[in-house]
């Protein structure tokens, strides 16, 4: 059943690279129309071209999830084009790891605004559409860092623990309305994420560790699994580590 999401409409944030890009492609392969949201419009256009060349359907909506007007425009553009929203993948994120004593407050703010507040606001904006449909699926990309805190990761941990708490609370509000919620918790995945780490010492330590890594596609398959279950099945949490990560 290669087209198990046929007719579904999915918004994917952070679709310009990494896990979001792989997820958009996988959802499109499964038959969903995908709405590609992130700041880098050129990357989104290139992805839309690839999806459409492969016979899929994509809409590009350049979006900064820290901008509430952009959030509302993303939802409006999606409903104007397709009239519904079946799947929301809140994947946009930044990981600006620093020990707190050296942390730049603007980095702490950016992590909260992208990883947590952006996800909360977009979920809030999409919810009325899903409630009207009496169906929908909210997929929030958290992390192993949403379950286990560690040194040099305090701000990032706070946002990902927040994502898990937010999602569980929303789950209790909407599960009786036919709306499903999934938290995805990846371990290390080979993407651009760590390239934005501002702290030289953290970067050097990463470079020396030579960690096993998942491919973005390994997470995308989990998201397709969760979203393509029968309506009675609500996969609430998926923790996916690379084999060998402690």
The stretch near ligand NDP (CB under 6 A) out of 126-134, 165-173, 191-199, 236-244 is 191-199
C-beta of 171: minimal distance to ligand NDP in Å?
19
State the Cα torsion 229-16-98-157 to the nearest 10°: -20
Distances in Å between the Cα of 64 and the Cα atoms of 85, 150, 179 are 19, 28, 25
Instruction: State yes or no: residue 167 binds ligand NDP (CB under 6 A).
Output: no
The smaller minimum CB distance to ligand NDP, of residues 143 and 157, is found at 143
Instruction: State yes or no: residue 136 binds ligand NDP (CB under 6 A).
Output: no
| Residue entry with tokens 């998942």 | 214
| Residue entry with tokens 């129309």 | 33
Instruction: State yes or no: residue 109 binds ligand NDP (CB under 6 A).
Output: no
Q: How far does the chain reach from its first CA to its final CA, in angstroms?
A: 35
Count of residues of this chain found to bind ligand NDP when the rule CB under 6 A is applied: 30
Q: Are the beta carbons of 136 and 88 closer than 8 angstroms?
A: yes
| Residue 82 appears among annotated catalytic residues | no
| Residue 139: CB atoms within 10 Å | 25
Residues 28-67 as x/- pattern, contact with ligand NDP by CB under 6 A:
----------xxx--x-------------------xxxx-
**Using CB under 6 A as the criterion, which residues of the chain lie in contact with ligand NDP when the complex forms?**
13-14, 16-20, 38-40, 43, 63-66, 91-95, 114-115, 141, 143, 186, 188-189, 191-193
């Amino acid at each position: 059943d290669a087209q198990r999401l046929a007719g579904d409409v999915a918004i994917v944030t952070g679709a310009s690279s990494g896990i979001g890009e792989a997820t958009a492609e996988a959802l499109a392969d499964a038959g969903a129309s995908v709405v590609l949201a992130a700041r880098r419009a050129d990357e989104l256009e290139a992805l839309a071209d690839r999806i459409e060349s492969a016979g899929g359907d994509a809409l590009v909506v350049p979006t900064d999830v820290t901008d509430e007007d952009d959030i509302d425009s993303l939802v409006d553009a999606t409903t104007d084009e397709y009239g519904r929203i079946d799947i929301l993948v809140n994947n946009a994120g930044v990981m600006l790891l620093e020990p707190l004593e050296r942390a730049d407050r603007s980095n702490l703010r950016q992590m909260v605004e992208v990883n947590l507040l952006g996800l909360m606001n977009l979920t809030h904006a999409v919810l009325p559409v899903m409630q009207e449909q009496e169906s929908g699926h909210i997929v929030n990309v958290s992390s192993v860092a949403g379950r286990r805190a560690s040194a040099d990761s305090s701000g990032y941990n706070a946002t990902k623990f927040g994502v898990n708490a937010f999602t569980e609370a929303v789950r209790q509000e909407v599960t009786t309305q036919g709306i499903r919620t999934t938290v995805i918790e990846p371990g290390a995945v080979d993407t651009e994420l760590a390239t934005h780490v501002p702290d030289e010492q953290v970067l050097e330590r990463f470079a020396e560790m030579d960690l096993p890594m998942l491919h973005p596609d390994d997470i995308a398959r989990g998201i397709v699994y969760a979203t393509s279950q029968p309506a009675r099945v609500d996969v609430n949490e998926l923790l996916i580590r690379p084999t060998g990560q402690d």
